[in-house]
Each structure stands twice: as C-alpha cells, then as structure tokens.
Structure 1
C-alpha cells in the first residue's frame, strides 16, 4: 500500500521527523529511507534506538500511526494510475489482496475511497507474526484467496516488499518510488501504474 498505491511515505517521514525532534533527537533522510517497507515494530525500535527515547517500540508505532492517519484523513495521495488499476481489476472480477505492513487503522480510511470488495483479502502488519521481507504476509494472502502464490502477481515498490513476494513464490511487478530496487531475474519493472490493465498483469511471466 504505502509507496505503491498511495504515496504516504512523505507522511511517514514527516511524522518520524516530528517525533525525533520533539524528543530531542535528529532525523535524517537516510534514517527515513532505512525504514521504507519495514515492519512497523522494526521501525519503532529503530527510532527508539536512534533518538534515545524511553517509550517502547510499540508506543512509538502508535505515535507514528497517529500522525500518518491524521494526514491521510486530510488527503489520500494516490499514486498515478493506482486507483484506476484497482477499479479495472475489480470490474474484471480479478481477486485482489492488499498486503501491507501498515496496521488496520491506517488501511481503513484509505479503503473508504474504493468500492466494497475491491480487496477480497486484507493482510496488515498487525495480523502476521513475521512481516516483510519474510514471505508470511504474501503466503497468508494467497492462502486466503485460495490461490497458489505462483499464480499471483505482487505489485511492490521497495526491496523489502519485493523480497517478501519473491520468497513466497509470487511473480513480481516493481514500480519503484522512494527507494531504488535492483534488477534481478524474474522481476518486471514499470515506471508507473498508469494505463496498466488486468491483461498486462496476467501476461507477466
């Protein structure tokens, strides 16, 4: 979701910076980039150690979510072509799953802008024991859809997400955003989701 369907990464980065500065620390662009695609609890622990905060990683995650949810409720920053792609898949009857390391309370206000059942399955970071880059999130989603992961296409924007999808056995379409994703055998790349059709996704080998 974050960085692929909606460009919430600037929201996360702004919130991380605010938390760090409020607690007497500093936050760099390199720090922000290190957290892209991570499990939130991993990000919370990183911030805790980097800034020297007394709060637990779980408490810091809630602080992060408070900041990002507030911004999403003000405006949902759709990535170019993302909403149109989802609507086309929905109209074509293609079963879709949302696999995100964000928590349910951030997902909900974004899904309000899509037709019901756009995603038949939703796997969030607070529903899995091991988040990306572990394959559990994508394995969970494929199983809930009743599909073999090899018959699924994962659309990802970060190296962490790509590794998770590949480890689960999914085909992967990479649409890089804030962090570069290295080329590798089996990875398909596009600059944007604009004009991407269900047939295009189905043709990925």
Structure 2
C-alpha cells in the first residue's frame, strides 16, 4: 500500500466513478480500485439489488429490471441510494469508489449535476470502461446473470463529461495501472543497477507498451484471431514475433495463416493507439545516430502504430522481418546495436515485457523496465519506472545520460 493512496482515499482526494455498460467489467475494476485505495466500494447492484429482488413480486413484473412504467422510478431510487451514501461519506471526510452504468449521469444533464452536488465540494474522477459490442455481449452471455436477461437495451454512447477511457480488453491489473496513473499515483523509480547518471552511447526502444500504448489493440486483435483459429488468449507468449507465437500455438500448418491474419488486423486497428506518457518528449530528444526501435511486430504494424501515435520512425529500426529469432533471443538487440555501430554493452534498452528484457540482457545491454503491461516483479530491469515521463535525457559529446524528474 502506498502512503499517497491513503492520502487520496481518506483526505482531500476525489470520489472515483467507475462506469460502463453491463459486461464491461466495471465491477471487477471498481473492486480492484477500492482495494488499492483502501476506499469504500459503492456498487449500485450491491446497494440496491437485494432489496429490489425481494420487492419484485410487488412491482407487477417478472423482474425489477424489466418493470415497464415503474422503470424510471426504480432507476431514480437506485441512484438516490448511491448518492445518499456518497454524500454521507463525504460529510465525514471519506472518499469512495462508485460503480454503476451511470448512462444518464455521464451525458452531463441533471443527473450528472445531482451526482456532483451530492459529493460537493469533493471532486469526481470518472473512469469509463468500454469495449466492442461483441466482447460485451459475450461476457454477458458467459456470466448468465438473471438481471442481464431482463435488462433493456441501452444505447452504447461515450460520456460527454471529462473521463478516462479504459478498454475492457485489458487485464484488471493493466486497467488499475491506468487508473492509478490518472490519479497521479505512480511508484517511484527503482534504480537497482546504477543507471541514473551513467552515460550510454545509444538508447534502444521496444515499441508496443513502451513507446506506444497499443495494449488494448493487441488484446482485441489476438482475441479475434483466437476466436477464428480456436486458441485461448491466455496461452499467448507476448514479446515474441507473431509468427513464432502462432507456430507454438497452432503448428507449422495453421500458424503462418493465423500470423498473416493477425498482421492485417493489427495494421488496421490503431484508432486508440497513443504515445505512452513521456514517450514523445524522450524519444524526440535523441539524435538519429543514438536511437533505434526494436519491435517484435511486422513492419506494416510497427509503422501504422508509430503513425497513429505521432512518432517518426527512426533510421535504425529492427522488426520481425529483420531477424531469424525474435525476443527473448538476443538477435534483435544485437542487430540494432550493430546497425548503429555501437557496442551492445554501451546501449540502454527500454522495455515493458519480460521477453524483451531477457533479449536485451542476453545481448549485453543495460535495461530500463517500464510499467503498464506487466508487473514490476516480472521485469528483471536495472532501472524500473512506471512511465517514461519520470525520465529525462541529457545529450553530451560522450553520449546519452538518463536522469530522474
């Protein structure tokens, strides 16, 4: 538990609203956030469903979630309960994590004003968990809850109030990381290898999860190919090339076709690919002679994601098309160093995945591990940071020096 978490939860921080339609995973994320912040969890279903389940026979319908003319009153009552509890917590200096669809509230109308008024003067941070209709429908079908069978179809629209969008395809740990980051809760850097202040001849960057936040796009594309070819997403070995992963999963017959299909999907699915915090500033500060990108992705995928994130492709760039053996083999980083004409031991690698860290270490490089896709404990890095905006680089005649902000 971080001290800053307790300060936000119990003193002057915000209430956190976790919103999303049925099947988005908002309840799971809300519980994780509440646990991390040591804050009370106000889940609309937990607060109101037990009473409504008992009262259903009095409502003249089979289920309160399908109550006809009474539906507006039931909705108003449910949200009134949540606001009342949140108001009482605010009055005693406690902040909560509120979980509900909030479909009307997040459109900025009277319901939103009522929510803000109930917790004033405490601020509210909104997290909207969103995903594809296919993913959400599949999750609702898999969980088989009675209330889902009686739920009226709700238009799936984005909030108009300020919010953090979190993709439903991400793992709960990845979602929690992004919520913590939005709340300003980043862990301090851990320099186990004396990286800060040392001078290196070049910096070599992984792409996905390091320079660009493409984690949700990766998850969506792999999930779709998994559905089409019949493998479990949990069996994927990330950090390797798609061809290697597919060969391991599907063999030499179906593997190549699946890899091509994945590449096509990943090249087109870039709408929400953005630079990671600090990536643009850090990457653009380095001259072409001292920087390279080393990615397990195919060239079209890599260039599409760089373009989506607004990053210019460097002169030195190693992709899956350039190597016989991808990460965790050292070949990709050895090739990048050779392309720059620099000894690998003089290169500082920035990575987010265990396979990439192992590849860089095997090549003889020093490694910075970045959070967001994997737990810190899984990254055997010399310097560990949550985000790249915790770092700055200084250029000198002798090379590149990394400092902490």
- TM-score normalized with structure 2 length: 0.43
Q: Could you tell me how far 1:26 is from its partner in structure 2?
A: 5.8
- Checking the alignment, whether the CA contact within 8 Å between 2:298 and 2:319 is kept in structure 1 is yes
> Aligned equivalents of 1:94 and 1:196: distance in 2?
20
Q: Could you tell me how far 1:165 is from its partner in structure 2?
A: 0.4
User: Is 1:8 matched up with 2:226?
Assistant: no
User: Is 1:87 matched up with 2:259?
Assistant: no
The structure whose residues are more often strand, as a share, is 2
Deviations 1:70-126 (A, max 9, x none): 112x34322111122111224xx66101000001111222344334xx623000012
Partner of 1:167: 362
Q: Could you tell me how far 1:47 is from its partner in structure 2?
A: 4.0
Map 1:1-205 onto structure 2 (within 5 A).
Answer: 1-23=207-229, 25=230, 27-28=232-233, 30-31=234-235, 34-48=236-250, 56-72=254-270, 74-90=271-287, 95-112=290-307, 113-115=310-312, 119-182=314-377, 187-199=382-394, 202-203=401-402
- Checking the alignment, whether the CA contact within 8 Å between 2:294 and 2:332 is kept in structure 1 is yes
Q: What SS is found at the alignment partner of 1:189? A: strand
Instruction: State the superposition RMSD in angstroms.
Output: 2.5
**What is the number of equivalent residue pairs in this alignment?**
191
> Aligned equivalents of 1:167 and 1:195: distance in 2?
26
Q: What SS is found at the alignment partner of 2:324? A: coil
Note the residue ranges of structure 1 that are not aligned, 5 or more in a row.
none
- Checking the alignment, whether the CA contact within 8 Å between 1:157 and 1:174 is kept in structure 2 is yes
Q: Could you tell me how far 1:141 is from its partner in structure 2?
A: 0.4
Q: Could you tell me how far 1:48 is from its partner in structure 2?
A: 2.3
With 1-10 and 121-130 compared, the bigger mean Cα shift is at 1-10
Change in CA separation of 1:203 and 1:18 when aligned onto 2, cut-off 3 Å: closer
- Checking the alignment, whether the CA contact within 8 Å between 1:99 and 1:138 is kept in structure 2 is yes
With 98-107 and 77-86 compared, the bigger mean Cα shift is at 77-86
> Aligned equivalents of 1:183 and 1:133: distance in 2?
14
Deviations 1:3-29 (A, max 9, x none): 111121221211121122234x3634x
Q: Could you tell me how far 1:137 is from its partner in structure 2?
A: 0.4
- Checking the alignment, whether the CA contact within 8 Å between 1:132 and 1:164 is kept in structure 2 is yes
> Aligned equivalents of 1:81 and 1:40: distance in 2?
27
With 80-89 and 161-170 compared, the bigger mean Cα shift is at 80-89
Change in CA separation of 1:60 and 1:95 when aligned onto 2, cut-off 3 Å: same
Structure number with greater Rg is 2
> Aligned equivalents of 2:214 and 2:373: distance in 1?
11
> Aligned equivalents of 1:183 and 1:19: distance in 2?
26
Q: Could you tell me how far 1:55 is from its partner in structure 2?
A: 5.7
Q: Considering Cα pairs closer than 8 Å and 6+ residues apart, tell me whether 1 or 2 has the greater RCO.
A: 1
Note the residue ranges of structure 2 that are not aligned, 5 or more in a row.
1-206
Change in CA separation of 1:10 and 1:55 when aligned onto 2, cut-off 3 Å: farther
